[in-house]
A and B are shown apart, each in its own frame.
Chain A
């Protein structure tokens, strides 16, 4: 795989990414983790809503959900670790306190500025209406003093800034997190999953990018490069060599594949090494 990706660049070892587990779903939240995982050729699926464009799902944001095969592959390479689940109440309380403190600080600042504003407006109004003479000066000073003593900045006038970039999402300091990390024991080894993983690993090893193919009735969509740049070439269907499959299903898959201009790939890992691939295409014989 090294050979296909920029051989002339010096390859530093891939950074370890931190997985957050939501029930059993492996999620990546941190930007550097998403970048690291993409640079290793794992695509995943974005799940989150973008704060500035919430009511659509064409473009989604973090977190990134990994396929079980992607998670397992990362695990095999020692490239991922599970981050400890955050204590919800403690985190919440802390954030809330920080928020109120910030609000208070902002309020005080804004009161001072509002008062300055009012004063300068008053000065402008009074000096423009009458010329400079000692009597009006004194009146002005009197009024300014009055203002300062009686001015109160109403809370409802407070300008509040909402950050659209998700603040407070970064986890506890990196080093500590990884020292505490442990691997979740959730392995479910059933034959179908095993077959899927073998195929995933083999195809990824050949430099293909794979995503989930639920839309096309298959196991994986196989891209010759990054999905942002290419259309998928294959719909991979993983099955055991001896698994009996109905001929009607084969015809179904082949028809669908030809409708969407992709080749259906029957993939079976063989006990004696390499994965066997059979390409299924329309014959062209009407």
Chain B
């Protein structure tokens, strides 16, 4: 919408207690981090969500658990038009937890991708698999001709 409401919106966000602490680096990235923070805490209700400043990356990471006592994730929020390097991903992974990369679109849509160190075998497709019978196959071949 118009600039006025945007301005008010931005001010509101800046007045949030969490946001006040995070004054490192890129304001866009901080905005993205804030949106992800709100999503994790209010919408998904994850536990122990905290913010971590990483000066090397000029970014704010979040650390959170899905449930109490569950595995800890590092979350890297980034505006979707930005770019990143494999090195920065490795730096985030070096914290020792699996990484959730969160892409924040201009309309505040959030997409989470999971990143892990090493080679993770994918989940195989689920059975049961039905082999098609001969009649089905013949029908298909005729259709293709």
Which secondary structure dominates where chain A touches chain B? mixed
A239 touches B (CB below 8 Å) = yes
Complex: how many Å from CA A259 to CA B43?
27
Q: Which range holds the interface residue count of chain B?
A: 20 to 34
Shortest distance in angstroms between A263's beta carbon and chain B's nearest beta carbon?
A: 4
Q: Is the CB of A281 within 8 A of B85?
A: no
Q: Is the CB of A278 within 8 A of B116?
A: yes
CB contact list, B64-123 vs A, under 8 A: 78-87, 89-90, 93, 100-101, 103, 111-123
**Closest B residue by C-beta to A281:** B114
Complex: how many Å from CA A248 to CA B122?
22
Shortest distance in angstroms between A192's beta carbon and chain B's nearest beta carbon?
A: 13
Checking A242, A247, A277, A280 against B103 with a beta-carbon cut-off of 8 angstroms, the contacting residue is A247
Q: Is the CB of A245 within 8 A of B90?
A: no
Q: Is the CB of B122 within 8 A of A281?
A: yes
Complex: how many Å from CA A233 to CA B82?
29
Complex: how many Å from CA A266 to CA B82?
18
Q: Which range holds the interface residue count of chain A?
A: 20 to 34
CB neighbours (8 Å) of A250 from chain B are 84, 101, 103, 113
B125 touches A (CB below 8 Å) = yes
CB neighbours (8 Å) of A245 from chain B are 83-86
With A233-B121, A241-B86, A281-B122 already in contact, the answer to whether A247 and B93 are too (CB < 8 A) is no
Shortest distance in angstroms between A196's beta carbon and chain B's nearest beta carbon?
A: 14
CB neighbours (8 Å) of B112 from chain A are 283, 285
Q: Is the CB of A279 within 8 A of B120?
A: yes
Interface, chain A (partner B; CB < 8 A): 224, 233-234, 239-248, 250-251, 254, 257, 261-263, 265-266, 268, 276-285
Interface, chain B (partner A; CB < 8 A): 44, 78-87, 89-90, 93, 100-101, 103, 111-125
